[in-house]
């Protein structure tokens, strides 16, 4: 098999579904924390010139990232019952 075929086969595998909701929540919490830290430390898009508290503004972006991730998980897993671990995914 060629390297390209191996890569193609690996990319065609279904996305591994987290074992529990706690694992997904932890992943969303990690994503929100990374967004907060990156925005707070680097202050892109003129955030350093903001008149209010940069801490609360960047924390808000992190919290929104976390909440949107949780909402997406709730809609796809609980409401729509989409199974992401099957071969056709």
**Kind plus residue range of the DSSP H or E element containing 80:** none
pLDDT at 58: 95
85 neighbors 18 (Cβ within 8 angstroms): no
- The model carries a pTM of 0.75
**CA 21/CA 24 separation, integer angstroms:** 5
pLDDT (tens digit per residue) in 29-85: 999 999 999 999 999 988 888 888 999 999 999 999 999 999 998 898 889 887 766
Q: Could you tell me the residue ranges of all domains in the chain? A: 3-79
pLDDT at 31: 96
> Is 70 exceeded by the pLDDT of residue 28?
yes
């Amino acid at each position: 098999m060629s390297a390209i075929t191996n890569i193609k086969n690996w990319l065609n595998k279904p996305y591994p579904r987290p074992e529990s909701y706690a694992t997904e929540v932890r992943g969303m919490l990690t994503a929100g924390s990374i967004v907060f830290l990156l925005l707070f430390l680097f202050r892109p898009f003129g955030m350093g010139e903001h008149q209010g508290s940069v801490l609360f503004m960047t924390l808000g972006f992190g919290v929104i990232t976390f909440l949107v991730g949780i909402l997406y998980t709730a809609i796809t897993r609980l409401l729509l019952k989409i199974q992401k671990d099957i071969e056709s995914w």
